[in-house]
Amino acid sequence: MEEEELQKAVYAYLRKKGFRQTELVLQEEQNRLSSSAQSDLAVSRLDNDPARYHDGYSKLRSWAYSSLDLYKHELLRVLYPVFIHCFMDLVAEEHMQEARTFFHTFREDHELMHLRDLQKLEGILSPSHLEEMELARSLRQNKVKIKLCEYSYDLLLQYLQKTQSVTMLGIINEHINFEVSAGQPSSISDDVDVVALVGSSQDIAKQINQKEVRWGLLEDSVEERLERPVSDSEKPEGENKEVDPEDSKQKRSVEGGKQGVSVKKLKKDKLVGATGKNIRSETSTVSIAPRVKPELTLPVMTTEVEQSILEDLRNRVQLSSLALPSISFYTFINAHNSLNCSSISHDGSLVAGGFSDSSLKVWDMSKIGRPTKTSNSQGENESVESEHLLGLEEGKRSYTLFQGHAGPVYSATFSPFGDFLLSSSSDSTIRLWSTKLNSNLVCYKGHNYPVWDVQFSPVGHYFASCSHDRTARIWSMERIQPLRIMAGHLSDVDCVQWHANCNYIATGSSDKTVRLWDVQSGECVRIFIGHRSMVLSLAMSPDGRYMASGDEDGTIMMWDLSSGRCVSPLMGHNSCVWTLAFSCEGTLLASGSADCTVKLWDVTASMKVPRMEENKASSTNRLRLLKALPTKSTPVYTLRFSRRNLLFAAGGLSKQA
């Protein structure tokens, strides 16, 4: 009202003084300003119109699907990030009904590749959920990297300029980074990391992956020591020295004795020769790996343990695509869906299970089937003995109950020699148990949230853990505080695995990436981008050069640690890949899944293809599936190759499977 009164007063003054021309000019200016304000209001209403997201995305979608087949699969990559940001922008502007309609209209286009993310985003019902939900917050704060060839990129720019779609242009500029490459478009099967969530800078992963990774094996390993006596015994002088006393001794025996001993000796020589060949062939893949010095102070190995390992290595079975492993499968029955994890000792003699009721149970395979009265062992008290009867109705199985956690047990792992057991829980603690004393030794506190996984190092003594707090930590058995904290993932760290030389650990995360960390410095030295869902399992090859990772969608990827590139992606499972394991000589990869199957893959044959055809777009660089082994209705929780190359597996019987 004050402005109107002021205008009236100005007009009255101009008329009183006779300034007619000035009054007309002022009125024209006032009318022009009011019409401009009305047009601005119309534009602002158009900008706030929720229909602009639906129209803009629908036109972009129609254009992408109608483009040339050669470039269509590249242009379609743009649709998913535009789709989710259109939806989240509608929610942020509080157009909830329009957001739900938009989401359900176009979600079918993306269900094949992004079903897990869509199921989470569907739960966004208000603007506050965008801040509370971790996935939505991560998508809005970080940019998506998309690889396009130069011509596809030019086609997209021409479309945006022609249509003048301000909304789509704004979303693409704000949330997508394009990596434009010259030449022909990449094929879908050849390049798996064409769409990936990156941090604030798309060059971070490239910079990190340029760091040096010393992927070789430790100097003076047990395998190296094993070859020395074999090579000495194969020398002619050594053989003659061993044979001569035998011959002189047998000369003093009767004639019939000579015949028998010569036959026995012949068999023994054949056996030793076969064993020598076996050892050489097994270690050949490992012996070519470079040798590195340990960055951690390694524990001293006792003579008894070393002799036990050497004995296992001498009796190791050589596996290949023509000689598949024997498999021993342990099935948990009557678990009533409360089994969260399982672990098997190196020789398969002990099997552990972690349960939702916060308990950890260990079965001794040598006592299975024996009467409970004969299962007494020194160190087990009456309370533990009673649990043997209460744990299972029939009382035929003996197990040792470990209690101490205050929440569900999510991970368990045996030490390399089976004398210790680690467990992690939702109570944010890690506990160390003695399998000989049947008691809890240490409770490690450091994580702030549930600990999803814990793994002993290949030499024991050290272990690594990962948690909902987005960190991984390295511990020593003798210290209650972590030695290193690895931070950098954008979401939960779901799995952790040690490198064969103990100088690195790998972590898989819900942010769909795998990272490799230097144990000494705590720095990230590799980021592996390519998975389309959370990474649930990891395995390192025995020679330390390759790493396998499995995700929630059933995809397994083989990575080259030196280059950081995916060597061989493979699709074989149709559900979560919960466990992976390499055979001892690295020729086979075993995978276990929630689809109730164990699959064996030929590693050596597939590694030759990418080196020869590294720059060619072909789908031949996938691991060759050797065998699929279905269980009746048991999801596979864990896999482990023994030192003799027997494959152990475990899982809980599921009625829903």
φ and ψ at 584, to 5 degrees?
A: -65, -30
Round to whole Å and give the CA distance between 361 and 409.
Answer: 11
The reported pLDDT for the residue numbered 203 is 57
Residue 11 shares a structural domain with residue 97: no
The reported pLDDT for the residue numbered 516 is 93
Round to whole Å and give the CA distance between 333 and 331.
Answer: 6
The reported pLDDT for the residue numbered 288 is 66
Give which of 476, 372, 381 is closest to 438, Cα–Cα.
381
User: Is 444 inside a domain boundary?
Assistant: no
The reported pLDDT for the residue numbered 481 is 92
Residue 27 shares a structural domain with residue 67: no
The reported pLDDT for the residue numbered 131 is 84
Residue 77 shares a structural domain with residue 146: yes
> Side by side, which strands form the sheet with 566-571?
535-540, 546-551, 555-560, 566-571
Residue 88 shares a structural domain with residue 158: yes
The reported pLDDT for the residue numbered 49 is 78
Among candidate residues 263, 288, 313, the one where a domain is terminated: 288
CATH number for 174: 1.25.40.500
User: Is 30 inside a domain boundary?
Assistant: yes
Residue 98 shares a structural domain with residue 63: yes
User: Is 412 inside a domain boundary?
Assistant: no
User: Is 116 inside a domain boundary?
Assistant: yes
Residue 31 sits in which domain range? Answer: 2-48
Q: Determine the 3-state secondary structure of 403 from DSSP.
A: strand
Residue 120 shares a structural domain with residue 37: no
| Domain total of the chain | 3
Among candidate residues 237, 268, 288, the one where a domain is terminated: 288
DSSP string across 209-258: TTS-----EETT-HHHHHHHHHHHHTSHHHHHHHHHHHHHHHHTS-HHHH
Residue 62 shares a structural domain with residue 107: yes
For 127-158, how does the pLDDT look when each residue is reduced to its tens digit (9 = 90+)? 888 888 877 888 888 888 888 888 888 999 89
Residue 43 shares a structural domain with residue 72: no
Instruction: Dig out the tokens for 653 from the structure.
Output: 């019987």
CB 457 within 8 A of CB 504: no
Residue 239 shares a structural domain with residue 154: no
pTM of the model: 0.68
Round to whole Å and give the CA distance between 489 and 509.
Answer: 7
The reported pLDDT for the residue numbered 607 is 61
Round to whole Å and give the CA distance between 619 and 220.
Answer: 40
Residue 113 shares a structural domain with residue 78: yes
The reported pLDDT for the residue numbered 375 is 35
**Residues in the chain with pLDDT values less than 70:** 1, 35-48, 186-203, 220-289, 369-397, 605-623, 656-657
For 408-438, how does the pLDDT look when each residue is reduced to its tens digit (9 = 90+)? 999 999 998 888 999 999 999 999 999 999 8
User: Is 595 inside a domain boundary?
Assistant: no
Classify residue 302 by its DSSP letter: P
Q: How many CB atoms lie within 10 A of CB 65?
A: 12
Residue 139 shares a structural domain with residue 260: no
Residue 20 shares a structural domain with residue 91: no
User: Is 73 inside a domain boundary?
Assistant: yes
The reported pLDDT for the residue numbered 25 is 82
Task: Tell me the longest C-alpha to C-alpha distance in the chain.
Answer: 152
Among candidate residues 31, 48, 65, the one where a domain is terminated: 48
